[in-house]
Homo-oligomer: A and B are copies of this chain.
Amino acid sequence: MAYGAIFPLWRAAAEPQWSAYTRHPFVGMLAEGTLPRAAFLHYLVQDYLFLVQFARAWALAVTKADTLAEMRQCAATVHGLIVDEMRLHLQVCAAEGIEEAALLAAEERVETLAYTRYVLDAGHSGDFLDLLAALAPCVLGYGEIGARLLPEAAGTPYRPWIETYGGPDYQAVCAGVGSLIDGAAARRLGPAPEQNARWADICARFRTATRLEAAFWDMGLRP
């Protein structure tokens, strides 16, 4: 998936980390249905804790936006994360007998702490675009994985996960975030972003966040 003009450039600049993330064994096992249930549930719990921090990071983006349009889109994303995506996790977890209180009482793993606090720090230490570059791998990588697996992964118990991220609602979110990134980059890097003095630093932020996504999958395999 392209999700705009800037994301493909960031993704290309983040190899081999991008493939290590999106083609991670955890993803393969999700698609084939060979992922142990314990690993999936462990991942879900940590991903819920991740989402809480991720919503905080998108709220931080509201405080760092330069235009009302940027503010509005980030605020809508906070809303979507807190209301929709977290409820989805709650439903799946509840079906497995894990209540929200148990989710919130779980201890954040080192990989969860590293990823989420790195994203928040990208916002605090840099500007709006630095923060978007750290937010992008999660949002758009899940979209890319979902879209890739949707047509092929039929016989897996993890089909609902794939349909969530490969389905039209989440793909529309990705298109919107891709467009937000393009606008934010145009505003701050100009018409030739790759020639901009900040380009290498921005790509490095995307790459580090991508590396931390792969570490998150690693952690998922160690319940």
Contact = CB atoms under 8 A, between A and B. Distances in A.
A60 interface: yes
A120 B62 CA distance: 13
Interface in A187-220: 187-191, 195-198, 201, 208, 212, 215
Contact of A190 (B71, B78, B121, B197): B197
Interface residues on A, range: 35 or more
A64 B56 CA distance: 8
Given A63-B63, A82-B72, A197 B201 contact: no
Contacts of A186: 197
Contacts of A57: 63
A13 to B, nearest CB: 16
A20 interface: no
Chain A interface mostly: helix
Interface in A67-98: 68, 71-72, 74-76, 78-79, 82-83
A201 B128 CA distance: 13
Contact of A110 (B60, B111, B188): B111
A59 interface: yes
Contacts of A74: 59
Please list the 5 inter-chain residue pairs (A to B) with the smallest Cβ-Cβ separation, ordered nearest first.
A117-B117, A59-B62, A190-B197, A114-B114, A127-B127
